Amino acid sequence: MVRRLVALSLVALAAAACSRAAAAPAVRTVQIRIHYSAFSLGHLDASPGETVRFVVTNADPIDHEFIVGDEAVQVAHELGTEAYHPPRPGEITIRAGETVATTYTFGTRDLLFGCHLPGHYAYGMRGTISVT
Amino acid sequence: MRPLRLAFAIFVGLLALLFAAPAWACGGLVNSNGSVTLVRTTTMAAYHQGIEHYVTSFEFAGGKGEFGSIIPLPGVPTKVIRGGDWTLQRLVQETQPQPEGLFLAAGGALPAAADARVILKTEIDALDIVVLEGGGTAVGRWASEHGFFLPPDAPEVLDFYADRSPIFMAVRFDATRASEQGLSDGDGTPVHVVIPTTNPWVPLRILGLGAAADAPVEADVYLLTDVRPATLPAPLSPGVASALPQGVRPGLVLQASQQASSSLLADLRSDKGMSWLPTSNVWLSYLRVDARAGDLDYDLAIDASGAGRPAPVAAGLDPETTAGSPGTPWFGAALWASLALLLLLGVAGALERRRAGRPAV
């Protein structure tokens, strides 16, 4: 009798855990590597409302950034004066040799990503995100 | 008459490795007011009895901050000393017409990369010089940690050199100290690096570091060797270079190739640190670099043995693509296209002339 109760309890607990997991929004992880001042990813497709966890590894001996945002955000950072970015969703500084993650939930608009250390964006450190 | 600016044309200064300067931009250090600018430096690479003597000069345009550059070297130097006072200027005088009296007036998640190893530290006038050994990543990190601003192409360029020779010379120019020492704008500090090596080469690619792909890179390289050297890439003659269409940059031009005069050798030998130079039988080559930064993806390999076989690897070139053609001219794609276009135009012109000579049908 006791064994049956324990078994039923375990089944109930497992079911509860599964239902909670199913209810939580799925977070997709996207790995990005930076080498020779180039992102390993040039374009990303995302769904409206999707949450993506970007894990960015900087294999270079110099610092880089990963900034997600629209054109206005990119321009603001290109002209900005913030030396290093505090951890904000979609805005991270990745120091030489480090790996940093940031989580971003997309709306409905297409976005861009890039690095705005001096000369880096013009050098080609940028990409596009289509939200469809 | 060529302006003096060509006299100071090998400019490691264009390395654009600026020291930490006052202003911050978004995410990085930049020298926003341009008050300290490394203008240009001059270079001589002489090779005698297995030793490369590399002499370059650093000039500054004033300011109160610090700036610096990193120079890849073909081997571990045994000495880094203050260069002579007139060696570079005298070479210019020998190969380029000068105005009267000018010479006399001249004066985390990743595995940690191994740390760069400091081989040598010295101070020459207002220059703090550190010779490093390490891979591109290690040297890049060292430079970043010591306040150098590295442009975005630096990681690839440092690896380009480290694959061949993991020796770099980091030079920091302390403009405040320069001012205290009475150096004024335009003054240069020559540095003489003594490098035992069996495979001499001169760094050229790094001249375009930080520059836009279409930015012009102009520089002068003086070679002093026991015999007439073979180089890779082999340079164009001035005649061929001047026949190129407007806007096409020739890359490397051999402006002068001659036995060094006894008066030149005597003058050079009388300069500080230059007594090693033979009194005779020295070949002088003057090469002019005139390239787009994007095309300058090579260095200058030198075979001073007389065998005529400069090593493609020493030039940073793929041995397979240059196999069988040591010392033959090597051009960028744009130059080949231009030469092909010239040929095409010549053929078209000849056909047109023949057609014009025919009677109408």
Nearest to B300 by CA among B229, B226, B198, B238: B229
Q: What is the pLDDT of residue A7?
A: 54
Q: Tell the burial category of A19 from Cβ atoms under 10 Å away from its Cβ (0-12, 13-18, 19+).
A: exposed
What are the CA-CA distances from residue B289 to residues B40, B45, B169, B207, B250 (Å)? 14, 14, 22, 10, 8
The closest CB to that of A119, out of B141, B151, B158, belongs to B151
Q: How confident is the model at residue B328 (pLDDT cuts 50, 70, 90)?
A: very low
Determine contact, residues B128/A101, Cβ cutoff 8 Å: no
**A–B: how many Cβ contacts below 8 A?**
100
What would the mean pLDDT of B242-256 be, rounded to a whole number?
88
Does the N-terminal peptide bond of residue B250 adopt cis geometry, omega within 30 degrees of 0? Answer: no
Residue B9 structure tokens: 């044309």
In a 3-state reduction of DSSP, which class is residue A54? strand
Interface contact flag, A61 B156, Cβ < 8 Å: no
The closest CB to that of A36, out of B28, B30, B156, belongs to B156
Q: What is the ipTM of this complex?
A: 0.78
Q: What share of chain A is helix, strand, coil (3-state, %, to 5)?
A: 25, 40, 35
Please state the pTM of the whole predicted model. 0.76
What angle is formed at CA B43 by the lines to CA B209 and CA B213, rounded to 5 degrees? 20
Q: In this predicted model, what pLDDT tens digit does every residue of B21-53 receive, in sequence order?
A: 322 222 222 233 322 333 445 689 999 999 999
Residues of A with CB under 8 A from a CB of B: 35-37, 57-63, 65, 77-85, 93, 95-99, 115-120, 122-123, 125
Interface contact flag, B27 A36, Cβ < 8 Å: no
Determine contact, residues B200/B47, Cβ cutoff 8 Å: yes
Interface contact flag, B108 A97, Cβ < 8 Å: yes
Q: Tell the burial category of B271 from Cβ atoms under 10 Å away from its Cβ (0-12, 13-18, 19+).
A: buried
Could you tell me the residue ranges of all domains in chain A?
25-131
In a 3-state reduction of DSSP, which class is residue B242? helix
What CATH class is the domain A25-131?
Answer: mainly beta
Q: How confident is the model at residue B209 (pLDDT cuts 50, 70, 90)?
A: confident
The pLDDT of residue B7 is above 70: no
The pLDDT of residue B74 is above 50: yes
Q: In this predicted model, what pLDDT tens digit does every residue of B330-350 receive, in sequence order?
A: 444 444 444 444 444 454 455
The pLDDT of residue A129 is above 50: yes
The pLDDT of residue B267 is above 80: yes
Residue B212 structure tokens: 């836009």
Mutate to test the interface with B, among A60, A65, A116 (most CBs of B within 10 A): A60
Strands A43-46 vs A126-131: parallel, antiparallel or unpaired: parallel
Q: How confident is the model at residue B58 (pLDDT cuts 50, 70, 90)?
A: confident
The closest CB to that of B108, out of A37, A98, A116, belongs to A98
Contacts B139 to A, Cβ<8 Å? 61
Contacts A123 to B, Cβ<8 Å? 151-153
Q: What is the pLDDT of residue A4?
A: 61
What would the mean pLDDT of A98-103 be, rounded to a whole number?
95
The closest CB to that of B27, out of A36, A59, A84, belongs to A84
Interface contact flag, A57 B150, Cβ < 8 Å: no
Interface contact flag, A117 B28, Cβ < 8 Å: yes
In a 3-state reduction of DSSP, which class is residue B150? coil
Nearest to B17 by CA among B116, B158, B160: B158
Residue B23: closest CA among chain A residues belongs to which residue?
A81
Interface contact flag, B138 A61, Cβ < 8 Å: yes
